[in-house]
Copies of this chain bind each other. A is one copy, B any other.
Amino acid sequence: MPSFDFAGLINPRSIAIVGASGEVDGHAGRTLANLVRTGYRGEIFPVNPRHRELSGYRCYESVDQLPAQIDVAYLMLRAETAVQHVEQCAAHGIRTIVVCASGFAELGAEGRRIQETVRDVARRYGSRVLGPNCIGVMNVADNVIACPTFNITSDFLPGTMSIVSQSGGMGVNIANIAQSKGIGVRVLVSVGNECDLELADMMDALIEDPATGSVVLVVEQVRDGARFVAAAKHARSAGKPILALKLGRTSVGQRSALSHTGAMAGDYPVLQGIFRQLGVVEADSVDDLVTTANLLATAPPVAGNRLAVLSPSGGECTYMADRASEAGLDLPDLSPQTKDVLGPLMPLGHPGNPLDPTGAVIGNSDLLRAALAALDADPAFDMIAFAIPTWADFEAQRLLPLFIEAAQASRKPAVISAWTAGPMTAKAEHLLRASGTLCFSSADGAVRALTALHQYWSAPENSPGVATSPGPEPGRLTGTSEFQVKQFLAGQGIAVARETLSPTRDEAAAVARTMSWPLVAKLQCAGVVHKTELGLVRTSVHDEAQLQATLTEFDRLAREHGLATEGYLLAEQYSGLEIIVGGFRHQDFGPVVMVGAGGVWTERLADRSFRLCPLSPGEARRAVGELRISRVLAGGRGRTFDVDALAALVARVSDVMARYAWIAELDLNPVIVGAAGAVAVDAALVTGP
């Protein structure tokens, strides 16, 4: 594959615009119009046989008449002619070709075939393609505004946030919203249908780009999982935060994403788990994406989740404390020293966290100064938030400089949340913007960003883990009966129920006498995976008479359903909490392990976490900790559950999935987690090609 000239794409010395037009109102005319309007400093070469000149630039009749050594070509022409024009550009030595037209894979199989041809043709000449169905590049920092869009600002604020988007429209949206919040943008790259260059290419390049502080992704589908994982690891080791907004989280949204850029929107919960595992911060909304990316790019690391809140409005204190507490941040009380300092200064209240020095601070800047300094010095806190009501000029001028000074002097991440109210709060907004302080326009947004900051810094560095399973690799299982699967799993170090398969009823009865009652009886039949639905599982069999009755009933059912009995399975009965553990192969990411609530909750609650395989027991514990049922697993009322054993089992399952490519799916349902140990009492396995 030809190498990718990132500098030539985002900061080209020369741009050819194939299909350029002078109609500034139309799509085809926009790239030229935007470059001209924003004062692009490189060379521009319009190509269009119908013009001699466009906007003062000589217009070329065809690509082959262009001078040599052009860095990038923007193709503004229809999909039908894309192959032909890409070939002309590539043959002319243009190493990067941006195909802006839509009408490719997003419309179906024929479009997909065309875009694959486009890629193959380009590569044959040593060139790479961005798109199709994309809007190219808007490089704010270097002033290369090449995207053919109308809705961009004319007043750019360069910064360190870089954006890579599979949706051009949403990418521009995010860039515009960031700009309007005073958050500078480094570059926006729209990757569109990704027939060639894709997310991971841009991630890798931007991680190495010294001007980029954080990378924001708008993702419909991760097409190459392995490269994405590698790029995310690259980002972690470089200390550069990656944030993601997933489009197509629901089946309804996917319906739209499908027709939009031809991406098969992946299974969202799986992607969520992978993001967490990789330390990719997921944002829930466009606004959060932008503000959180800015916080993560600029705030110092945090060691914990302990937040101090200060507001001169009691209502604000309560409001922010509610949201922080609900988000899982901790609001410990002030240290005794802090209370000793502040107590005598507060006539109308008691010092606490949240700290409400009341409106008294308006006439008493000493109190405010003392409060701000005390929170910074107090070792009880990792982060500080100053929550400010809507302030008009008077308060803004009198109080805001003190808040700004405190936020800037703080050695901890310190943010200001300041409600905005149009022209009324213009002074406050101006002071905040001019200071460059980390500022949020709502307490809600500030809390969500601080929570993400904590999550980013508390994510482990070493995941996905490395397979650690010892021992020789066994061959492919020839049969996948429950008993065979469990024998195989036991050989892999996974605890399974103690059980015996007996070919006859007499042997089963003899085995039962060596076990303790009650026990579990199952009828194993060829090809039957879901025994319970057929009545072939009986728990709490408490004596030999009941066992005989059960086996008689099994035989009757086997006859009724025409099943080929393989034997009677008698197993020890375990008590504890039912958990499901499974594994499968994701089309984009390969082997994935799942852990979730079992029993009646399994399907209805969809309380599940996913991770890439293999993973460490520590990462498995994090996955378990994301479940709602983890609150039950935490124990209480005299019950305890061996979460360590569960995490170890999940890690072992992930190793098995990673090691044995012939396993397509694995399902341990349930795993019984007791006070000591976690045991798979049922298991099913599907082999793949």
Please give the residue numbers on chain A whose beta carbons come within 8 Å of chain B beta carbons, in ascending order.
25-27, 102-103, 106-107, 150-155, 165, 167-173, 176-177, 179-181, 218, 220, 247-257, 259-261, 265, 285-287, 313-319, 321-322, 324-326, 331, 348-350, 352, 354, 356, 358-359, 362-363, 389-392, 394-395, 419-425, 442-444, 533, 540, 542, 546, 577, 600-601, 603-605, 628, 631-632, 634, 636-639
Return chain B residues, CB-CB under 8 Å to A253.
318-319, 321-322, 325
Closest to A248 in B: B318
Return chain B residues, CB-CB under 8 Å to A107.
348-349
A390:B352 contact, CB within 8 angstroms:
no
A634, B600: Cα distance in complex, Å: 11
A256:B317 contact, CB within 8 angstroms:
yes
Q: A150-B394, A442-B285, A631-B604 are in contact. Are A256 and B102 (CB under 8 A)?
A: no
- The one of B154, B176, B352, B634 in contact with A259, judged by C-beta atoms closer than 8 angstroms, is B352
A247:B319 contact, CB within 8 angstroms:
yes
Return chain B residues, CB-CB under 8 Å to A285.
442, 444
A389:B422 contact, CB within 8 angstroms:
no
Return chain B residues, CB-CB under 8 Å to A359.
27, 169
A173:B315 contact, CB within 8 angstroms:
yes
A172:B389 contact, CB within 8 angstroms:
yes
A138, B636: Cα distance in complex, Å: 51
B255:A167 contact, CB within 8 angstroms:
no
A322:B252 contact, CB within 8 angstroms:
yes
User: A420 CB to closest chain B CB, in angstroms?
Assistant: 7
Closest 8 CB pairs of A and B: A167-B315, A260-B314, A170-B315, A180-B422, A169-B313, A253-B322, A180-B421, A250-B325
B390:A151 contact, CB within 8 angstroms:
yes
Q: Which of A261, A315, A546, A604 has the most CB of B within 10 A?
A: A315
User: A106 CB to closest chain B CB, in angstroms?
Assistant: 8
User: A165 CB to closest chain B CB, in angstroms?
Assistant: 8
A636, B218: Cα distance in complex, Å: 36
Return chain B residues, CB-CB under 8 Å to A150.
362, 392, 394-395
A318:B220 contact, CB within 8 angstroms:
yes
**New A-B contacts (5) at CB < 8 Å, excluding given A25-B394, A256-B354:** A151-B390, A249-B326, A254-B318, A265-B318, A542-B546
A199, B623: Cα distance in complex, Å: 45
14 A-B pairs in the complex with CB atoms less than 8 angstroms apart: A25-B394, A106-B349, A152-B424, A167-B315, A173-B315, A176-B419, A176-B424, A179-B424, A249-B322, A250-B325, A253-B322, A256-B317, A577-B600, A603-B637
A321:B250 contact, CB within 8 angstroms:
yes
- The one of B155, B348, B628, B638 in contact with A533, judged by C-beta atoms closer than 8 angstroms, is B638
User: A155 CB to closest chain B CB, in angstroms?
Assistant: 7
A632, B167: Cα distance in complex, Å: 37
A314:B259 contact, CB within 8 angstroms:
yes
Q: Which of A168, A249, A321, A603 has the most CB of B within 10 A?
A: A321
Return chain B residues, CB-CB under 8 Å to A318.
167, 220, 247-248, 253-254, 256-257, 260, 265
Return chain B residues, CB-CB under 8 Å to A392.
150-154
Closest to A177 in B: B421
B173:A389 contact, CB within 8 angstroms:
yes
User: A47 CB to closest chain B CB, in angstroms?
Assistant: 22
User: A263 CB to closest chain B CB, in angstroms?
Assistant: 10
Closest to A441 in B: B287
A172:B26 contact, CB within 8 angstroms:
no
Return chain B residues, CB-CB under 8 Å to A259.
314, 349-350, 352, 356
Return chain B residues, CB-CB under 8 Å to A218.
315
User: A409 CB to closest chain B CB, in angstroms?
Assistant: 25
B316:A169 contact, CB within 8 angstroms:
yes
A601, B546: Cα distance in complex, Å: 32
User: A295 CB to closest chain B CB, in angstroms?
Assistant: 19
Return chain B residues, CB-CB under 8 Å to A248.
318, 322
User: A235 CB to closest chain B CB, in angstroms?
Assistant: 23
Return chain B residues, CB-CB under 8 Å to A542.
542, 546
Return chain B residues, CB-CB under 8 Å to A600.
577, 632, 639
